[in-house]
A and B are shown apart, each in its own frame.
Chain A
């Protein structure tokens, strides 16, 4: 399990503990919780070493608007509604190269926005934001814009689609167990009209 997965597992565990409204946290759970807190402390000290304050991503607003353009709300929540921005900045907190990529990527978005309409990316209407992101998608794969787009896209989807609230209208997207798919040898159920 890589470190990134560890911290996600930590958060999901804590969320699980509280979502179940456990009144008594047993010893094992408590020790687990403590060890995860220790993990978070280690991460903070690493972040300090690279001169980057946890939770203080330089341009969090641009990143959030960008992520909500990648994953906007419709019948399922937007990226920021599921706190995907926090998860990406958490990764930036402990990974200097990733922090640099996100920072430079957000700067690139702003630069493109100013070139187009003299204002920052976060103030642009959605169609213009989409056009800028589309240019990153189709650009030279070695360019900063392309690397930023594909890395953030992968990470955003990695976290977003792990969340049960993202899975409305995705038939059979829930956990594989404990029920499995006893209907595996039949044609799948079609999505309802609301989902199409």
Chain B
């Protein structure tokens, strides 16, 4: 084992939305930063193969260690009561044949830029009403800061990422307009808008980290609809082409890929060093005045639980809440065939959005909101392979003829809703399954409670209603979280709060106990919001923390 001693102002662990934004914020403020990323660097021009004939045969490309290892504990039994929430396809039938919920995947990317590499690009601010869930509804926990405390940091994140969108949104008041104007709606999106209007619902341009025109050295989007396979043009504002690009330009940020952090060391009062390994198993130790953890709501609690201190099982776990309050992605997607030619392969995955049910009290008799968007890209109904397999029935000459008639005619509408924490959903360690370094894997425990299922039923019913109003005559496929654990947005496992007994970090994302330890990913979220994508809020919090750290260092308080 070789160990190198290095000294930095800050070590950032993880380079997704939060880690990248923190690294940029610290470097921008003049601090020296070591950024440790377990995965590899992706080259948009080389790695994202949307110009090759095989583009549809694989999703986002995989590289060495581009997925972390984890386990999913046995999930809940499925019951007839929620039969309308089972996933199905009109050709292959029920997707889950058993009567138990399937633990499919924690959908993420380990690589420089993290899951922003495959994200859709939604750049949402949280609904301000969704930040006080405990005081208003007695569920989850209140955020220890208000929307207005975050507003300027949202602005800064939007400016760096290059966010486009509509400036009219009463739930997310803005002091400045979006840096970029909204995208024009695709023809598919316009078709759904007609349906929503019939239902008296709104459809507004979505806030997106996708450029409608050239900005900051990057070109405008050309509407290929495949953000989730990786953007080869760099018009999508993933963390690698935005925050990390700028962080590297400061020449104060040392980015190390292929470095897996194994342990965070501490003495009686502070974090002292980070121990990590490269892909060959060589070990290193680096130290810094402060350590920022940003590995996401599954791997961050794992790392903390692995980093025991003399006094405590699990670093920063004085409250016992590291890994608790896990919140997952509660989602539903319905797809159907429109009788007319739509060309729904074209556009942006979710150029418009319906926020009408986003507030926590917007759904009658159900606490927690949700939102609706076009979801044809989310459902991966963008190319002929998926049409042939999942949309067009049968085989032979008729199948070929129907392919020509139906290709591009599918409309999908999806919904993501609030997920509230409870004691049965949490992240633990699995001592029976170890990684290559002999360390226990993270184990995901998940249960959807009745409130979540009622919310999902509302989401599913509304998706079907929207499709029908949009002219869809035949549903062909539906899927959601009820029978399959498949989460992209995960939250809550190192909750932020004012009370050290009830939270892991404070409003600055600083550990209550370890003043030079910070957490800047969605694990700090006290509540998930009503379907908002979390990346922009993560980035706003991360920049805020970075600037706080810089200020503290300036005052010699860190």
Q: Are B395 and A177 closer than 8 Å at their CB atoms?
A: no
Q: Are B224 and A133 closer than 8 Å at their CB atoms?
A: no
A49 within 8 A of B: no
Q: Are B389 and A157 closer than 8 Å at their CB atoms?
A: yes
Mark out the residues of chain A between 151 and 173 whose CB falls within 8 Å of any chain B CB in the assembled complex: 153-154, 157-158, 160-164, 166-167, 169-173
Q: Is the interface of B mostly helix, strand, loop or mixed?
A: loop
B206 within 8 A of A: no
From A5, A137, A161, A188, B384 is in contact (CB under 8 Å) with A161
| CA A171 to CA B406, docked complex, whole Å | 10
List of A residues within 8 angstroms of B185 by Cβ: 185
Mark out the residues of chain B between 312 and 353 whose CB falls within 8 Å of any chain A CB in the assembled complex: 341-343, 345-348
Known A-B contacts A158-B385, A184-B186, A187-B341; the reply to A175 vs B346 at CB < 8 A is no
Known A-B contacts A71-B395, A72-B397; the reply to A8 vs B57 at CB < 8 A is yes
Known A-B contacts A150-B92, A161-B388; the reply to A182 vs B223 at CB < 8 A is yes
Q: Are B222 and A180 closer than 8 Å at their CB atoms?
A: yes
List of A residues within 8 angstroms of B383 by Cβ: 161, 173
Q: Are B396 and A187 closer than 8 Å at their CB atoms?
A: no
Who on chain A is nearest to B57 by CB? A162
Query: Could you tell me the distance in whole angstroms from the C-beta of B86 to the nearest C-beta in chain A?
Result: 15
| CA A190 to CA B408, docked complex, whole Å | 11
From B55, B61, B93, B346, A181 is in contact (CB under 8 Å) with B346
| CA A171 to CA B347, docked complex, whole Å | 15
From A5, A69, A169, B404 is in contact (CB under 8 Å) with A169
Mark out the residues of chain B between 161 and 219 whose CB falls within 8 Å of any chain A CB in the assembled complex: 184-187, 190
Query: Could you tell me the distance in whole angstroms from the C-beta of B98 to the nearest C-beta in chain A?
Result: 13
From A76, A154, A162, B54 is in contact (CB under 8 Å) with A162
Known A-B contacts A173-B383, A186-B187; the reply to A130 vs B396 at CB < 8 A is yes
Who on chain A is nearest to B184 by CB? A185
B403 within 8 A of A: yes
List of B residues within 8 angstroms of A171 by Cβ: 341, 343, 407-408
A24 within 8 A of B: no
Q: Are A182 and B222 closer than 8 Å at their CB atoms?
A: yes
Who on chain B is nearest to A154 by CB? B389
List of B residues within 8 angstroms of A189 by Cβ: 343
Query: Could you tell me the distance in whole angstroms from the C-beta of A31 to the nearest C-beta in chain B?
Result: 15
Q: Are A70 and B395 closer than 8 Å at their CB atoms?
A: yes
B contact residues, total (Cβ < 8 Å):
52
Interface code B404-427, partner A: CB below 8 Å = 1, 0 otherwise?
Answer: 110110000000000000000000
Q: Are B224 and A177 closer than 8 Å at their CB atoms?
A: yes
Q: Are B53 and A162 closer than 8 Å at their CB atoms?
A: yes
List of A residues within 8 angstroms of B238 by Cβ: none
Known A-B contacts A176-B224, A181-B223, A188-B187; the reply to A9 vs B341 at CB < 8 A is no
Query: Could you tell me the distance in whole angstroms from the C-beta of A105 to the nearest C-beta in chain B?
Result: 14
| CA A130 to CA B399, docked complex, whole Å | 12
From B56, B224, B387, A162 is in contact (CB under 8 Å) with B56
List of A residues within 8 angstroms of B346 by Cβ: 172, 181, 183-184, 188
Q: Are B58 and A5 closer than 8 Å at their CB atoms?
A: yes
Q: Are B384 and A185 closer than 8 Å at their CB atoms?
A: no
List of B residues within 8 angstroms of A74 by Cβ: 397, 400
List of A residues within 8 angstroms of B62 by Cβ: 1
Query: Could you tell me the distance in whole angstroms from the C-beta of A45 to the nearest C-beta in chain B?
Result: 24
A179 within 8 A of B: yes
Query: Could you tell me the distance in whole angstroms from the C-beta of B53 to the nearest C-beta in chain A?
Result: 6
Interface code B378-394, partner A: CB below 8 Å = 1, 0 otherwise?
Answer: 00001111011100001
Q: Are B343 and A188 closer than 8 Å at their CB atoms?
A: yes
Known A-B contacts A74-B400, A185-B347; the reply to A180 vs B186 at CB < 8 A is no
| CA A74 to CA B398, docked complex, whole Å | 11
List of B residues within 8 angstroms of A133 by Cβ: 395-396
Known A-B contacts A170-B384, A188-B187; the reply to A175 vs B51 at CB < 8 A is yes
A195 within 8 A of B: yes
From A137, A179, A188, B408 is in contact (CB under 8 Å) with A188
Known A-B contacts A71-B400, A188-B341; the reply to A157 vs B187 at CB < 8 A is no
| CA A64 to CA B62, docked complex, whole Å | 33
Query: Could you tell me the distance in whole angstroms from the C-beta of B183 to the nearest C-beta in chain A?
Result: 9
Binds A, one of B5-13, B225-233, B298-306: B225-233
Q: Hey, which bits of chain B sit against chain A, CB under 8 A?
A: 50-58, 61-62, 92-93, 184-187, 190, 221-226, 232-233, 341-343, 345-348, 382-385, 387-389, 394-397, 399-401, 403-405, 407-408
A-B contacts, 19 listed (Cβ < 8 Å): A5-B57, A70-B395, A71-B395, A157-B388, A158-B57, A161-B385, A162-B53, A162-B385, A171-B343, A171-B407, A175-B51, A181-B347, A182-B223, A184-B225, A184-B346, A185-B186, A190-B341, A191-B404, A195-B404
Closest CB pairs A-B (n = 8): A180-B222, A188-B343, A181-B346, A176-B224, A184-B346, A157-B388, A177-B50, A161-B384
Since A74-B400, A76-B400 are in contact, a sample of 19 more A-B pairs with Cβ atoms closer than 8 Å, ordered by chain A residue number, is A1-B62, A12-B54, A69-B395, A69-B396, A71-B395, A137-B394, A157-B388, A161-B56, A161-B384, A161-B385, A167-B384, A172-B346, A173-B345, A173-B383, A173-B384, A175-B55, A181-B222, A183-B346, A191-B341
